[in-house]
Every structure is written in C-alpha cells, then in structure tokens.
Amino acid sequence: MTKMADNRSSVEIVEGCRLPVLRKNQEHEDEWPLAEILSVKEVSSRKLFYVHYIDFNKRLDEWVTGDRLDMKKLQFPKKEAKTPTKNGLPGSRPSSPEREVKRKVETVPLATQVPPATPVPSLPSSAEASQASVFPAVRETTTFKAREDHEQISSLTTNGTARRLIPPQPGRKRKANCGGTDEDSQDSSDGIPTAPRMTGSLVSDRSHDDIVTRMKNIECIELGRHRLKPWYFSPYPQELTALPILYLCEFCLKYLKSLKCLQRHLTKCNLRHPPGNEIYRKGTISFFEIDGRKNKTYSQNLCLLAKCFLDHKTLYYDTDPFLFYVMTEYDSKGFHIVGYFSKEKESTEDYNVACILTLPPYQRRGYGKLLIEFSYELSKVEGKTGTPEKPLSDLGLLSYRSYWSQTILEILMDLKPDNGERPQITINEISEITSVKKEDVISTLQYLNLINYYKGQYILTLSEDIVEGHERAMQKRHLRIDPKCLHFTPKDWSKRGKW
C-alpha cells in the first residue's frame, strides 16, 4: 500500500522535521528510511522537499515530492532552549541561519559535517594482552618460538614457517574499536571526542549546523568529456549554482556559465596540462607538482572542484602553505586530470596528505591506491614516515586500509628464513621500509587480526586465508608506481621564509 502525503498535510512540513521517505531505484520499494527535511521550496505550484536520509551518506540527499513522504510518522523538530549562554554551549539559542551564513562568508571557511577521527589502536601491554577477547585465536594450529626478548613478535604462517617479528609497545593503553570505520568515535579519557587539528586547504570543521552547506548546490559539472553529478556542497559563486550545468576548463579548471563561454575560453587557454613541474611519467600516467602560492588560481579552482566530492572538509582559500600533486592521463589532446592530493609544505604531525580525491569517472580502477602509493614514495625520498590527515572520508578510509594491508603483507610474505632461523623484524623497521607511520602499521595489523599473545610473547600469525586473499588482490593490482620514473627533489621550506 503506497504511503502518500496530501497537499494539505505537506504544507505543515517545516525544516527540521523528520519522517519516513520513499527512496527510488531500490530493490525493495517498501523501504522508507527515516529522513530529515533540510529545505522546502515551491516550483510551479508544487512543493519540493530536500531530504537527508538518516544513517545514509549525504551524497544520497535529494529533492523529493510530497507523495514520497509518510505523513503518519511526522516528527516535528524539538524546540531549542530559549535561555542563551555564552560561547554557544548546550542550552543556548542558536544564531539565525542568515547570520550564520553571513559570518561564514566573512571568515572564508564553510562548514560541513565531520565525524570523529578514526581511532588508531596500539598494541596492549603484557597484562592486557592476556585477555583472550582482545586478539582472536587463529583457526589453524601453529607452533610458536618462545622468546624472553620482548622486543619482537614472532610472525608465523599456518604451516609453522616464521614470517616476522614485531615489537610490543609497553606502557600503552589498549583502545577499543581496533578496526573502526570512519564513523567510529575516538574518545578521550573524559569521553569527549578528540578533534583533529585543522589544517589543509580543505580542512576538517565541526560546525555543521549551517543548513546551506548541508545541501548540494550544483546540479551538474561538465569537465572535458565527462559530466559529473556532485555529491556535496561547494562554494562556487551563487549566480552559477542555479544553472543546469556548470562548465569547467579541464586544463586550468576555470568555471564558466555556458558552453559558448567555455568554447571562447578554450581558444585563449594555452594550458594542456596542470601548471607546475611534471615530476613523474610512466606510460600515460603523469604527476605534476603545483605550488599553492605560485599557482594560486588553479589551486583554488582545484579545491572548489574537490569540495563537490569531499564531505568532511571545509574550503579555505589560503593555498600558499600547500603543494598539490595532480595525477593525469595523457592522450593526443593533452593531460586530463584523474585525481590529486594536497600536502602541507611543513607538517608538525608528519602528514603527507591533507586531502586526496579520485574523480568519480576514474574510481574503482586502482587510481586511488596509486595516489596513496605516490604520496608514500615522496615520503621515502624525503626520508620521513607519513600519515594522512584525519578524519578520512568513508572512501578514503577504505582505500588507505587496503593500501596499508597490502603493503605490510607484501613485506611479511617476502622474508626468507636466515640460516634456518625464523626471520625477525620490528615495527620500526617496517615503518622505515614503507614510510608508513608506526601507528598506522600497528592499527593495520590489529585490523587484520594478525596479532596474538602466547606465553609472554606477541605472535603475528598469517593464516592461509590471509595469504591467499593477499595474493589474489596483488594479481589484480596492475597500476604501480615505478620509483625509477620519479624525478623529485624535496625542498627545505623552513628556510624559504613565507614560501
């Protein structure tokens, strides 16, 4: 039986209401997930409602008609406390949307919703590791080499052959959610989520109550031969957001309001590749390094485009402290942008990536992992270990977990016994070889459930399923970075004044 909202009832719906909404193109048409009304507008005497499906990614937000609303379960928004307090603490009256939008324009950043940072678990102490629930038992029976030396962990395969030895981290407390997702919370001792440091031309922000920035404002973007449907809000000029299609020059990323304007621009635009230096080329894949200060307009346009597909970031226009590494595919017409990542010129937290994005037409083709691998190749040349800025988006988290797992397993499986003895290695050595930060190595090992505790010793055990799964994954991974094709000389930005 179809649930419908009559015209009289739909008039009562206001912003903030919650009610079940019918989602189209679903296998089961009787699915009515709970949604929040973010905006209401009238077109040709017909009311439209912009809805956000609760517990669904914001990229699925959409405009719906009244006949897709279940008015029987309508929930009106709760009234806010009328007693204002300072600093916007709980119980205070929120500022009006108009005032909030005005403030955002003046201070440049635009707010988006941000989940807590992804937890980075650590190895437990000896006492804590004795709890069997922390590390699951391995299904197959293995033999272990007992050691009094707690500087390392034995790593064994199912047939008893040693792979690796990893050091424990004594004195560190165990954290929950070892394999948490992007939406998992990372709580401090007082129960307050830990906020990441705000850096990057696209930075994390926790002020997510601005309704304007919660709604997609661009209908369609034409970029070269591709038409992209944005997932999230991006602060393009307001007069362009009402257009059915926003046109971008695929080489300089300048935005234009019509196809005619784009054609006129292309007769004048001399670029056929991103500005900056080409520091890598193999086959049709190239990487260009772009200084956010020297090529400010291009960098800002790149951030505007990226914001259409990154939810957990807020746009800042000061690109001077950042480098942008743009990956392209070459053909007879030029170098076409595939994706990019940005990076701070100087990072006190060892961030080697601030923002990272593969454009939708190129996703699920291995380019995301190639971007990640390239960022670590740069870290290797710099002689540093690196980590991406947290929190990661849902897709970013999946890509990084996959890359870390494959990279670490590749090292574990390549070791050969030395003079009949089981090979040994420390976490620090794995980190130095891969340039993956030690905390990310530990969290990956725990996410894969490889660490066990046996007779006072940490054991890293590789099951047959893990080995076979890794070998299948590596057979499908055709795109790899060739360090011999990288021509990159790191700069000491601390000696360059204001860059």
CB atoms within 10 A of CB 6: 10
Decide if 246 contacts 236 (C-beta within 8 A): yes
Catalogue the E-assigned strands of 111-194. Answer: 154-157
* DSSP track, 60-124: G-EEEEGGGB-GGG-BPPPPPPSS--GGG-TTSPPPPHHHHHHHHHHH-------PPPPP---PP
* Sign of the four-CA dihedral 490, 493, 494, 496: positive
Nearest to 246 by CA among 304, 298, 188: 304
CA nearest 38: which of 270, 216, 225, 227? 216
How many angstroms separate the Cα of 259 from the Cα of each of 221, 241, 244?
A: 11, 15, 12
CA dihedral 25, 215, 307, 247 (to 10 degrees): 80
Q: Which residues are catalytic?
A: 389
- DSSP-derived 3-state class of residue 9: helix
**One-letter-per-residue 3-state SS of 439-472:** HHHHHHHHHCCCEEEECCEEEEEECHHHHHHHHH
Is the CA virtual torsion 92, 96, 102, 105 positive or negative? positive
